[in-house]
Amino acid sequence: MNHRPITARLKAIGAASALCALVWAAPFAAQATTLSDNTTQITADTVAADATNWLAASFSTDTTYSAATLQAVVLALADSGATTLALYSSDASSLVPDSLLANFNLVSTSATASTFSLSDIDLQGNATYWLVLSNASGSTNWSWTEASDGTGSGFTGTWANSDDAGGVWFTNSNLYPLQAGVTVVSAVPEPASMLLWLGAMPWLMLARAKNQGASA
């Protein structure tokens, strides 16, 4: 019996498997994307958040951002010393905040803007999230714009407020468009990884065809 064709097929399958393993082991690049932003709109005035009056702005994700992580959130704030910014899930209607997911860390602040970060939270695809602002003592002024427009695939143009520390939320058409920018990071394959995958495909197809032919 001639074992050389079988040996050749095994070698082809082994080479293809090794190449696929190399593809999966290849590095993935972190790609930052502005998911939602209206901070470039002209600021009209501010509205205050405090211990009982909470403010919220929403953003959404699609399947592209499943398992993406929040890199930074920039709010147009003033007097943010005692500010708490939290990430909330949305209720079934996607119109008001639902459950607390995590609290952000304040990274930097200036007279007109504050930057927050959040780690170890993966976003889900096709979901709505809320940025909820409160203040343990005193008040924080969140800037708003007269324009309801924004950029990014996750911009919803939906805002909410609560006058009882988050007990009951209202989506209010009279609530001013609060200014916020949301940046996320998602893992995407390096270009070299994609080339390796494309290179592996012919090997896999050939090995499979030969194996099926031998089995016939």
**19 and 83 share one domain:** no
Instruction: Please report how the helices 191-215 and 4-25 are oriented relative to each other, as an axis angle in degrees rounded to 10.
Output: 150
**180 and 147 share one domain:** yes
Residue 182: name the closest of 22, 90, 65, 100 by CA.
Answer: 65
pLDDT in tens, 14-68: 544 444 444 444 444 668 899 999 999 999 999 999 999 999 999 999 988 888 8
Cα–Cα distance measured from residue 64 to residue 66, given in angstroms and rounded to the nearest whole number: 6
pLDDT in tens, 68-83: 888 889 998 876 568 8
**182 and 196 share one domain:** no
**10 and 116 share one domain:** no
Q: Evaluate if pTM is beyond 0.85.
A: no
**39 and 109 share one domain:** yes
Domain enclosing residue 211, as ranges: 4-27+190-215
**200 and 125 share one domain:** no
pLDDT in tens, 141-196: 999 999 999 999 999 999 999 999 999 999 976 678 999 999 998 765 545 444 44
**111 and 15 share one domain:** no
